[in-house]
Amino acid sequence: MKFYETSFKDYIEAKNKHNIHKKNEQINNMENTIFYGPSGTGKYSYVLDIIKKFSNTNLKYEKKVTCTNDKQEHIYKMSDIHFEIDFSLLGCNSKQIWNDIYIQINEIVALRQNNNCIIMCKNFHKIHSELLDLFYSYIEQGTSNIYNINIYFYIITEHISFIPYNILNACNNVSIQKPKKQEYVNIIKNVCNYNKYKKKIEVVLDNSCIGNIKELYCIDSLLDDTQIDIFNIINNNIINFIVNFKNNPDYLQFRELLYDILTYEIVIEECILYIYSYFIENKLLSEEQINILIQNTHENLCYYNNNYRPIYHLERMFYKIIDFYNRS
């Protein structure tokens, strides 16, 4: 998302001006849908463009709504047809604030002539685990509730591996892929043509007064290069520390390595899978240890990010591997 674009209309106009998704999904009916893809692929603008089809005002109507309960206040945006909830901003009391927001949305839509609406769930991959367990019940209520309205969910997420099967089966799945290098090149050319630059692109990009295009050009030149993979670096550092823990039992350093998972917002489930796979595939753990490890991990994930700080559960899980590895 671009910080200077503050309205629905701005996002849609920017998408139409430089569209990197030529093959848009033909979604002509309101249905529960999951839109997933890597960060920075234009998922939000893509979904807004679809929602525009169902808006009588073409999303020109925009308003902010405040939901307040005993513990916190949450502000979200709405149009004549949809509501936007950012799940990364709901906080630790997300179950209660989400329920209050959902009831408030029902009350708002019940007063309208058009009793259909869409709830856009942004950053769904950052949903609290306790709320995720209950979320399917809200999807079920969407078309069969006491207010006699129809609520459809447009879920925007970077991945879907964490989403329960009941939610996946209740929604259509739309994959939004990362644009190819040539599409980025075309955007640069379109920007230059739009601004009526007469010189060659290389000459224009040397001009310091057009820094944005210069940034695009620099990004384009790096698209073919191998990028630093933070995910693999952090996980490999943790694996190396576990393997060498007996010779260098530095508890503070290990905590710093685990904090990197939180700092870079790495998906904990994928991190666990990567590290566990290393020890299992290399036969560094016995079958009995693997079974205990999986059971211990399940228990910790149930409480992960609840009540205690996340680092507490990360340490409990990974110190178990250290214990088993040093026994073998």
What are 68-114's pLDDT values in tens digits? Answer: 877 678 899 999 999 999 998 887 788 999 999 999 999 999 888 88
The vertex-122 CA angle with 77 and 95, nearest 5°, equals: 90
Question: How far is the C-alpha of 10 from the C-alpha of 52, rounded, in Å?
Answer: 13
Q: How does 263-287 read in b/e, with b if 16+ C-beta sit within 10 Å?
A: eeebbbeebbebbbebbeeeeebee
Determine the angle formed by the axes of helices 43-51 and 8-17, rounding to 10 degrees: 110
pLDDT tens digits, one per residue of 35-47: 998 887 888 888 9
CATH topology (fold) of 8-175: Rossmann fold (3.40.50)
Q: Are 54 and 127 in contact (CB under 8 A)?
A: no
Nearest partner of 43 among 99, 1, 85, 89, judged by Cα: 1
Q: Beginning with the edge strand found earlier in the chain, give each strand of the sheet holding 150-157 in spatial order.
A: 63-68, 73-78, 82-86, 116-122, 150-157, 33-36, 172-175
- State the Cα–Cα distance between residues 224 and 26, nearest whole angstrom: 32
Beta bridge partners of 122: 86
Coil/strand/helix, residue 68: strand
How would you write the pLDDT of the chain (328 residues) with one tens digit per residue? 444 446 777 776 676 676 666 666 677 788 999 999 888 788 888 899 899 989 998 888 889 999 987 767 889 999 999 999 999 888 778 899 999 999 999 999 988 888 899 999 999 998 988 899 899 999 988 776 666 789 999 999 988 888 999 999 999 999 988 777 777 677 777 666 655 544 444 444 444 444 444 454 455 454 444 445 788 899 999 999 999 988 888 899 999 999 999 888 788 888 999 999 999 999 999 999 999 999 999 888 877 766 567 888 899 999 999 999 988 6
The reported pLDDT for the residue numbered 294 is 92
pTM: 0.67
